[in-house]
Structure 1
Amino acid sequence: MTFSQDLLTRAQPIMDAIMIHPFVQAIAKGEVPNDVLNYYVEQDEHYLKDYLQVTALTVTKTSHSDDIARLLETAQFVSNESKAHEVMLTITGHHVENWRRSPETQLYTDHMYTSAYHGTYADAIATLLPCAWSYGVIGSELVAQGANNDANPLKEWIEIYAPQTDDGVDYNAWRFDALERAVSQFNDNQKEHVAQTFLKSLEMEWRFWEAAWKQTQWQFKF
């Protein structure tokens, strides 16, 4: 079993929890409360800016030309991800107001920066990968369920995240290939550190959905 295969096996319980999360299930039904959508978009605006910066930092950690090209493609996709936000804001009529970062958003982005700044290239890839991978799984499974029907106001949002292919190759495949190469010379302890980085980011994905669903805020004003 490869490192990536083992990682995906370990990740499956978290991914299963994401798929049955009330927010994701509400997306499938097209019945997400407006305040949940607004909170999600506001926090995702913060998150994606940091995701772009961590992606740029990751580029500096590799000399692999194909990985660099793919990371730059990722940055372009993230830059255009406002389209997904527009789908949600069209439903609610909300305009982005740059709300304060929620505790979970701060926790997630701090984790990404720490992994990318202080870790290896493998750590940087591992901290970024769960976002793209989990959204690909969500998009794929919701399409398979027929959730992207014309009656669903979030149809376009679902389809934005359905797996993208390039000549029949899974859009996320290169990420796992890059991670596999990056850990090829690592010992078991180093590989486990990378695995923990990945799994923590994936749990942060679950927490991001949960925070939006429950409208999590800081307990005190400061």
Structure 2
Amino acid sequence: MNYTDQWRQAVLPTWQASFDHPFITALHDGTLPEDTFRYYLIQDHHYLTAFAALHEAISEHLPAAQAKVLLALNEGSGEDTIRDKMHAELGITATDFATTPVAPTAYAYISHMYYQLNEVNPQAAVAGLLPCYWLYAQIGTHLAKLTSPKPLYQAFFDAYASDDFTTSTNQMLALVNQTAAASSPDVQTQMATAFKRSAVYESHFWQMAYQKERW
């Protein structure tokens, strides 16, 4: 079993909680209110803006070959295109992003990621990026086959079940496993911790959106 499979196995209840969360099940059955999905997309925009910046920042601390992969992933996941279409359909504008504060859970998740980079090490930061790729790919692959009655929500699942996103996820998995294999046992433990905490924040992110969390 490789490093990432071991880490996911260690957090399996948390991982499964994302699949079972009412936000996800309501997306699947089409009952999630559009204003709740709209809130999610605005907060996800805040997170993905930081996520992209983190790819850039982390790459500066990696060996050249690994940095190249991470930068290419930042350009090639296709999430911006996916999100832009959804924003347009729901009438989400730049003003909405500018005037909606980052919610507490999103703020904590972003802060966790920067902590891994600035206070732990870049290897842990790379591991902390992985759950966002891997969990969305698995949720998308699982639920795209089951079909949501609401086209907007089906498009969300389809996007993360796409060949392009699957390829990006597999490249990220390979990068993280390669990084772990080249690291000391202590650093591997730090990577596992960063992965675990990101998986927890992914689960909390759904709840944040479901309750439209405010400060």
Shorter-chain TM-score: what band?
Answer: 0.7 to 0.9
Q: 1:209 to 1:191 in 2, by over 3 A?
A: same
Contact 1:128 1:201 in 2 (8 A): yes
1:142 aligns with 2:140: no
In the alignment, structure 1 segments of 5+ residues that lack a partner are none
CA distance in 2 between counterparts of 1:85 and 1:18 reads: 24
CA-CA distance at 1:209 after TM superposition: 0.7
1:156 aligns with 2:155: yes
Paired residue for 1:56?
Answer: 56
Paired residue for 2:123?
Answer: 122
Deviations 1:167-203 (A, max 9, x none): xx84322222222222224443332221110010111
CA distance in 1 between counterparts of 2:36 and 2:17 reads: 19
* Partner SS for 2:151: coil
Matches within 5 A, 1:1-222: 1-65=1-65, 67-77=66-76, 80-84=79-83, 86-87=85-86, 90=89, 92-96=90-94, 97-98=96-97, 99-147=100-148, 152-164=151-163, 170-218=167-215
CA-CA distance at 1:16 after TM superposition: 0.8
CA distance in 2 between counterparts of 1:103 and 1:202 reads: 17
TM (norm. structure 1) is 0.84
Contact 1:40 1:212 in 2 (8 A): yes
CA distance in 2 between counterparts of 1:195 and 1:128 reads: 12
> How much identity, in percent, do the aligned residues show?
22
Q: 1:37 to 1:165 in 2, by over 3 A?
A: closer
Contact 2:116 2:122 in 1 (8 A): no
TM (norm. structure 2) is 0.87
Bigger shift: residues 202-211 or 181-190 = 181-190
In the alignment, structure 2 segments of 5+ residues that lack a partner are none
> Which of the pair is proportionally richer in helix?
2
Deviations 1:122-155 (A, max 9, x none): 21211111101111011000023234x6x53322
Over aligned residues, Cα RMSD in angstroms? 2.3
Q: 1:20 to 1:133 in 2, by over 3 A?
A: same
CA-CA distance at 1:17 after TM superposition: 0.5
* Partner SS for 1:215: coil
